[in-house]
Structure formats: structure tokens, C-alpha cells
């Protein structure tokens, strides 16, 4: 007599997983949420929409002991659509304008409502390239996270900028548009000789003039105004080199001298992290220049282009901020609805570190933690349906964890080659690279490399809410396994999640196989032929799928009601097969041919008797899977 076993897989307590969310990750998400809160209230200046910014030359004089700035910014611009008589720039009202010149001529101007209006001596034709220079000085405001910060470390003055999302105008005249990227910049910073300056791009020149030093940074990639940044203090400077197939990529580290030894040990981890990202997603997007870290006093990190500002050098923070150089800086999410393209990817890249043995966390534990986090509540979509809610945009469960696991499931469905090639194509698409991307564009590239239609997947997993929970019933008869899978969903927005199911079967002699079974309907059944006797069956042993706790029923005896079922005639030949179940209600009947292929899948509609034509089937022994309101039954019929 066979025995009945009920196995419930529930790895990790959901409540504990939620409570044990990595504290540094929670802090990082909290900071990004507050950045978004500021950005949500920001509206770009409509007066700056009539031109494109091409280039800025930013020349500054600062002393980290004083919260003051003096400088000149030359802006090259191109009018759009019509001639331009007045150039508008964003600038903090309290800045003092020394002079403004266009081709050597003085310009009249006004500064109010944080807008600098410059009257050009001559109107500039649409599409014509021109420039203007603004000399200014003042004590910048500090909005957002403190866009212009003067502080100390170990008693030494330090000054840094952190302009996300709209603080650039506090310290330099710019077009503070979240969409129009600047094609290139030069930043020349003069500071007392005791200090060093970190900035975007390459340090092309460093020289001393009297008791001051001049640092010239050049950046030749498109950049958003809020990612332009510099920091000044008595930095200790050293480099890590990341080997590539060509020239190595320099990681230039500016750290507080008192933290030098600790930082030198910690930042060595950036080498394998960047090598991994290079291998998977293409060469670091700013490889012609450099990557770097600059230590600052704000409690987190900020992915300033080519130079992330860091409070410290933990593996998680370095992995997350470097990931944003691809997913956030090279390609920026095109709307708040698509925030997962930044944060879901950055979170998944953290996990990929652990998969490849880089970092302190176990890969299996990381995946289980994300699954537990997602399934800790029944609803919620990756798509942000309420972009007025900052807490929804930066939901750690949905935008970070579920976004990361959505990518993981896409990888399972497509396979590694198609998945990673599709992501690389998305990053390198001329419409996205060094610009903006949306979910539909990623979907199109993944469909092209995978040769599949992902519409249903994205409807369910991106727009839809919730997740599936599976119940498996299986039994072995010699070298054959009969398997049925039922699914319930946690939220009414999705009635069924079609997925490829990972099924592992092992034998008594250590034999094993991993099957990929396409689950296209609820209650689906399979007949699986093996070259050995099945001893055990496991569902999703490698944690590819987001799902609730799985129920597995093994070795099911015929129930009492099965004795009253009549299946006739048997053999059936080319006639009608009649299935009569007088004591229960039929729900569905499936027929698998001798190869295990599903050839009939018929809804019984709650009847007690069902007739099925088998005329089209060649002679063979077929397997009936009879689903009733009282359970499941398998029978063989000779055709």
C-alpha cells in the first residue's frame, strides 16, 4: 500500500525576514526615498525649455573652511524651434552677479524666483550654437540633502556638493532639467594648497599658483546637471586598477587620511565587482575616463557620474553605487513608474555578486530573503501606479526586492545567454545609452534575444499584483512519474501565472535530473519517463521563482470515491470514451499520450458524466488525469 506524505516548504519566517532586512540596505533605500520626495515636488523651469545645453565650463574658487563660492560659468547652448533673445538659467536668488558677457559685450539681466534672465545683445537663431559667461559669487543655499555642504572631519574642513535632485542651482548657474543632459563639462576648481579636489571625469591638470592649487576636471560624456559634483578637503589619494581586455580602468579613491588604511583594504573589493559587471553588462560606461570614490559626511552614497560620493566602503554600498553607473547614469529610468529599472537592477546586481562568490552574503540566503520579502504581503506591483507617493516609488518590497526577482525570473525563462544579451542591447540602444529608458524598451530587447513574447509575463509580474502559491501531487510507477500542479494567486489582479516550472527528480542511486515544465493552465498534468526509478521530487530547488509556501503531496492512494468511477469502453478504439463519476463532481479531464504529451484538456463544467472523442489518436495506451471536487485520480486507457 502506498503512503501519503504532505510536505510543506516554508523556508524562513516572513516576519523575521522583513525585520532582518539588511540595516545598511534599509538606510540606503530611506535616503533614496527622501531624494525622491524632494524630486517629486520639483518642476523644471519652463523658461529653460527653449534651448539645449551643449557644454559648461565651470571655474570656481572655494575654501572648505568657508561656505562660500566665487566663479564663472560659460554655457554653450543651441536654441530650439525659434530665435532666442533671452537666455534663462536656474540660479539661487541670493547669489551676487558680478557680470555677464556675450562675445565680450555686457548683458543686462534680472535674478528672481531662482531664475537668471539674460538679455542677449542679439537674438540667436534656432539651431545656432552660441555661448554666454556668468561671473558670480555668494553663500549657496543648501536644499535637498544639502546641495553645498561645509563641515569637518577629524577637525579638518571639508566641502562637498550633493545636488540630487534639484540643488545644482544653489551653487552654479545651470539648466536644472531632469531630462536635458549636458554633452560635456570642464570644471576648474581653485582651493588652498593644503587641499585636494575630487570631481567628474579625468583630472587633466593640477598645478599650484602661490598658496593655492588648481584642479582641472574634464568629463566628455552626457551628464545630468544634478550629477555634476566636486568635493574638497585634505584627501589622501590612491588608485585601484581594474584589469580589462584593453587598458585597465582606474578607480581613483579620495579618502579622509584618518581612514586611509581601512579604505585601502576595503576598496580592493571594487576590482572583482567591476570585472563582474563588465563581463555581464558590457564595459564600464565611462571607461575612457575613470571611476572613483570620494569620501564625504552625508550618511549614505551618491552615484555622481564617474565619482561616487561615499560615507564608507562596505561591499553592499560599493556594489550598489557602481551598479548605478550602468543603471541610473548611463541609462536613467524615463519615469517614476519605471524606477525599478534603476533600483531593481542595482539590487539584482548586488545579488549577482554573491552568486559569483564576491562579498559576504550567501547567494541562496539572498534569494530566499528577497522571496520572503516579496511574499510578506499579498498585493503590490513593480509598476508604480501612484507616482505622487514617494513611499510607493521607493518601496523596498516592490521596487527593490520584487524588481530584482522579476529580473531573476526573466533570466530563468530566457536562459542566461538571451537574458544578459538582451540587457546589454537595452543598455547600448542608441535611444537609451547616455539617455533614458523605459520598461517597454527593455521588454522589446529581451523578446528579440529570447525569441519569445513576454507580454503576458509583464502583464502579470510588472503590472499585476501578487504571486502564485503551488500545490504539487506526484507519484512514481516504475520509471514513470505522474505530476499535477495546481496554483492559487495571492491577489485578484492575476488569476494565473504561466511559468516554466523547475522540477528536480532524484533516484536511489544518486541519479538526478532538472526538468523545465511549461505550466500554461491551472491543474496541468505531466507523465514523465525516466531511465531510472524516481525516489524524490523537489520544486524549484534553486529558487528561481517568487512564490508562496509550496505544498507537495506524494504517493497518493486511491480515495474511497474512486471505486464508483466507471471509464468505458476500455479499450476504446475509435469510439467515445465515457467517464462517469456518480459520487463526485467532475472539474477537468486531461489525457496524456504515450510520450507524456498533453493531447486533451477539457473542462467538465461540474458534470458527473463526460464523453470524449479519441478518433484522432493512433493506437496506444493513454493516461487519464481526472480532476474532481474531491481530488485527483490517474487511470490508463487503451486506444
Question: Contact at 8 Å (CB) between 308 and 322?
Answer: yes
Q: What angle do CA 415, 499, 470 make, to 5 degrees?
A: 130
Where do runs of H (alpha helix) occur along 356-402? 363-374, 390-393
Do residues 62 and 68 lie in contact, with contact meaning Cβ atoms separated by under 8 Å? yes
Check: CB of residue 182 under 8 Å from CB of residue 226: no
Is the distance from CB of 524 to CB of 632 less than 8 angstroms? no
CA torsion angle for 174, 58, 283, 453 (degrees, to 10)?
10
Compute the distance between CA of residue 203 and CA of residue 219 in angstroms, rounded to an integer.
9
Residue 23 has pLDDT above 90, yes or no: no
Radius of gyration of the chain (CA): 31
Residue 556 pLDDT class (50, 70, 90 cuts):
low
Distance CA 152, CA 159 (A): 8
Phi/psi class of residue 543: alpha, beta or left (left: φ > 0; alpha: ψ in -120 to 50)? left
CA dihedral 119→120→123→125, nearest 10 degrees, is -110
Give the pLDDT confidence score for residue 12 in this predicted structure: 28
In the chain, the percentage of residues whose pLDDT exceeds 90 is: 70
Q: How far apart are alpha carbons 25 and 360 in whole angstroms?
A: 14
The pLDDT tens digits of the residues spanning 30-55 come to 666 655 555 555 567 899 999 999 99
Q: Taking the chain, what is the end-to-end CA distance rounded to the nearest angstrom? A: 29
Residue ranges covered by each domain of the chain: 14-34+332-463, 42-234, 235-331, 560-639
* CATH code assigned to 14-34+332-463: 1.10.390.10
Q: For residue range 505-548, list pLDDT tens digits in order.
A: 999 999 999 999 999 999 888 888 899 999 999 999 999 999 99
Q: What is the pLDDT of residues 335-366, one digit of tens each?
A: 889 999 999 999 999 999 999 999 999 999 99
Which pLDDT score, from 0 to 100, does residue 97 have? 98
72, β-bridge pairs: 59, 135
Instruction: Tell me how many degrees the CA angle 478-480-486 measures, rounded to the nearest 5.
Output: 130
Burial 317-340 (b: 16+ CB within 10 A, else e): bbbbbbbbbbbbbbbbbbebbbbb
Topology alike, domains 14-34+332-463 and 235-331: yes
Average pLDDT over residues 586-592: 90
Which residues does residue 237 pair with via DSSP β-bridges, in sequence order?
A: 254
Cα 262 to Cα 232: distance, rounded to the nearest angstrom: 20
Check residue 226 and give its pLDDT.
Answer: 84
- Measured CA to CA, the distance from residue 287 to residue 283 in angstroms comes to 7
User: Which DSSP string do the residues of 49-114 spell out, in sequence order?
Assistant: TTEEEEEEEEEEEE-TTSS-EEEEEEEEEEE-SS-EEEEEEE--TTPEEEEEEETTEE-EEEEETT
Find the length of the chain. 639
Kindly report the average pLDDT of the chain as a whole number: 90
Looking at CATH, the fold of the domain delimited by 235-331 is given as: Neutral Protease; domain 2 (1.10.390)
Residue 178: pLDDT over 90: no
| Per-residue pLDDT reduced to its tens digit, 129-175 | 999 999 999 999 755 446 788 899 999 999 999 876 667 899 999 99
Tell me if residue 425 falls in helix, strand or coil. helix
Instruction: Write the DSSP string, 296-319.
Output: -SSSSEE--TT-EEES---HHHHH
Class of the CATH-defined domain 42-234: mainly beta
Q: Could you read off the pLDDT of 190-236 as tens digits, one per residue?
A: 999 999 999 999 999 999 999 999 999 999 999 988 889 999 999 99
- 456-511 tens-digit pLDDT: 999 999 999 999 999 999 998 888 898 999 999 999 999 999 999 999 999 999 99
Residue 332 has a pLDDT of: 87
Q: Round to whole Å and give the CA distance between 218 and 201.
A: 5
Order of strands, edge to edge, in the sheet holding 202-209? 105-106, 96-102, 130-138, 69-79, 51-62, 184-192, 212-219, 202-209
For residue 566, what are the contacts with CB-CB under 8 A and spacing of at least 6? 578, 579, 580
Q: Which of 316, 340, 344, 342 is nearest to 327 (CA)?
A: 342
Q: What does the pLDDT average to over 290-312?
A: 89
pLDDT of residue 132: 99
| DSSP string for 177-221 | -SS--BSEEEEEEEEETT-EEEESSEEEEEEEETTEEEEEEEE-S
560-639 CATH, one of 3.20.20.70, 3.40.50.300, 1.10.10.10, 2.60.40.3080? 2.60.40.3080
Residue 631 banded pLDDT, cuts 50, 70, 90: confident
16 has a pLDDT exceeding 60: no
> What band does 81 get if pLDDT is binned at 50, 70 and 90?
confident
Mean pLDDT score, 372-376:
98
Amino acid at each position: 500500500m502506498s503512503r501519503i506524505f504532505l510536505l510543506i516548504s516554508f523556508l524562513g519566517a516572513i516576519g523575521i525576514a522583513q525585520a532582518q532586512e539588511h540595516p545598511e540596505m534599509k538606510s540606503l533605500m530611506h535616503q533614496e526615498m527622501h531624494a525622491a520626495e524632494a524630486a517629486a515636488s520639483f518642476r523644471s523651469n519652463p523658461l529653460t525649455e527653449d534651448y539645449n545645453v551643449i557644454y559648461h565650463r565651470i571655474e570656481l574658487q572655494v575654501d572648505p573652511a568657508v561656505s562660500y563660492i566665487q566663479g564663472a560659468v560659460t554655457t554653450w547652448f543651441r536654441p530650439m524651434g525659434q530665435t532666442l533673445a533671452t537666455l534663462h538659467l536656474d540660479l539661487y536668488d541670493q547669489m551676487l552677479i558680478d557680470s555677464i558677457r556675450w562675445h565680450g559685450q555686457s548683458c543686462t539681466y534680472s535674478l528672481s524666483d531662482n531664475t537668471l534672465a539674460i538679455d542677449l545683445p542679439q537674438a540667436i537663431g534656432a539651431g545656432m550654437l552660441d555661448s554666454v559667461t556668468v561671473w558670480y559669487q555668494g553663500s549657496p543655499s543648501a536644499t535637498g540633502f544639502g546641495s553645498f555642504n561645509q563641515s569637518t572631519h577629524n577637525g579638518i574642513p571639508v566641502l562637498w556638493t550633493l545636488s540630487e535632485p534639484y540643488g545644482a542651482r544653489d551653487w552654479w548657474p545651470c539648466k536644472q532639467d531632469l531630462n536635458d543632459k549636458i554633452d560635456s563639462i570642464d570644471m576648474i576648481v581653485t582651493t588652498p594648497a593644503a587641499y585636494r579636489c575630487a570631481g567628474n571625469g579625468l583630472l587633466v591638470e593640477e598645478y599650484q599658483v602661490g598658496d593655492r592649487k588648481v584642479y582641472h576636471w574634464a568629463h566628455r560624456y552626457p551628464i545630468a546637471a544634478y550629477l555634476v559634483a566636486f568635493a574638497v578637503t585634505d584627501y589622501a589619494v590612491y588608485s585601484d586598477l581594474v584589469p580589462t581586455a584593453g587598458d585597465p580602468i582606474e578607480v581613483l579613491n579620495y579618502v579622509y587620511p584618518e581612514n586611509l588604511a581601512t579604505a585601502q583594504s576595503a576598496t580592493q573589493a571594487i576590482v572583482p565587482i567591476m570585472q563582474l559587471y563588465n563581463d555581464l553588462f558590457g564595459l564600464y560606461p565611462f571607461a575612457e575616463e575613470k571611476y572613483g570614490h570620494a569620501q564625504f559626511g552625508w550618511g549614505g552614497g551618491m552615484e555622481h557620474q564617474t565619482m561616487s560620493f561615499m560615507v564608507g566602503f562596505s561591499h553592499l554600498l560599493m556594489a550598489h553605487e557602481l551598479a548605478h553607473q550602468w543603471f541610473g547614469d548611463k541609462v536613467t529610468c524615463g519615469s517614476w513608474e519605471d524606477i525599478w529599472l534603476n533600483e531593481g537592477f542595482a539590487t539584482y546586481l548586488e545579488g549577482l555578486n554573491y552568486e559569483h562568490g564576491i562579498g559576504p552574503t550567501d547567494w541562496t540566503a539572498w534569494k530566499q530573503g528577497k522571496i520572503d520579502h516579496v511574499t510578506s504581503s499579498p498585493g503590490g506591483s513593480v509598476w508604480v501606479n501612484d507616482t505622487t507617493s514617494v513611499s510607493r516609488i521607493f518601496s523596498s518590497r516592490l521596487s527593490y526586492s520584487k524588481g530584482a526577482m522579476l529580473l531573476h525570473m526573466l533570466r530563468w525563462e530566457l536562459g542566461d545567454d538571451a537574458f544578459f544579451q538582451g540587457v546589454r542591447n537595452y543598455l547600448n540602444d542608441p535611444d537609451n545609452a547616455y539617455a533614458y529608458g523605459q520598461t517597454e524598451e527593455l521588454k522589446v530587447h529581451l523578446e528579440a534575444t529570447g525569441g519569445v513574447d513576454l507580454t503576458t509575463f509583464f502583464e502579470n509580474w510588472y503590472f499585476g499584483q501578487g504571486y502564485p502559491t503551488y500545490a504539487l501531487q506526484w507519484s512514481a510507477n516504475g520509471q514513470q512519474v505522474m505530476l499535477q500542479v495546481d496554483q492559487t494567486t495571492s491577489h485578484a489582479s492575476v488569476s494565473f501565472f504561466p511559468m516554466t516550472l523547475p522540477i528536480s527528480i532524484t533516484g536511489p542511486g544518486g541519479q538526478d535530473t532538472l526538468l523545465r515544465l511549461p505550466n500554461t493552465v491551472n491543474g496541468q498534468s505531466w507523465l514523465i519517463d525516466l531511465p531510472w526509478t524516481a525516489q524524490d521530487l523537489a520544486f524549484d530547488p534553486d529558487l528561481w521563482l517568487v512564490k508562496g509556501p509550496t505544498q507537495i503531496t506524494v504517493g497518493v492512494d486511491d480515495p474511497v470515491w474512486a471505486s464508483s468511477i466507471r471509464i468505458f469502453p476500455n479499450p476504446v478504439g475509435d469510439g467515445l470514451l465515457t467517464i462517469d463519476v456518480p459520487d463526485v463532481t467532475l472539474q477537468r479531464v486531461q489525457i496524456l499520450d504515450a510520450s507524456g504529451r498533453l493531447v486533451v484538456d477539457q473542462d467538465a463544467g461540474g458534470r458527473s458524466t463526460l464523453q470524449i472523442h479519441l478518433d484522432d489518436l493512433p493506437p496506444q495506451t493513454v493516461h487519464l488525469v481526472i480532476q474532481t471536487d474531491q481530488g485527483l485520480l490517474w487511470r490508463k486507457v487503451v486506444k
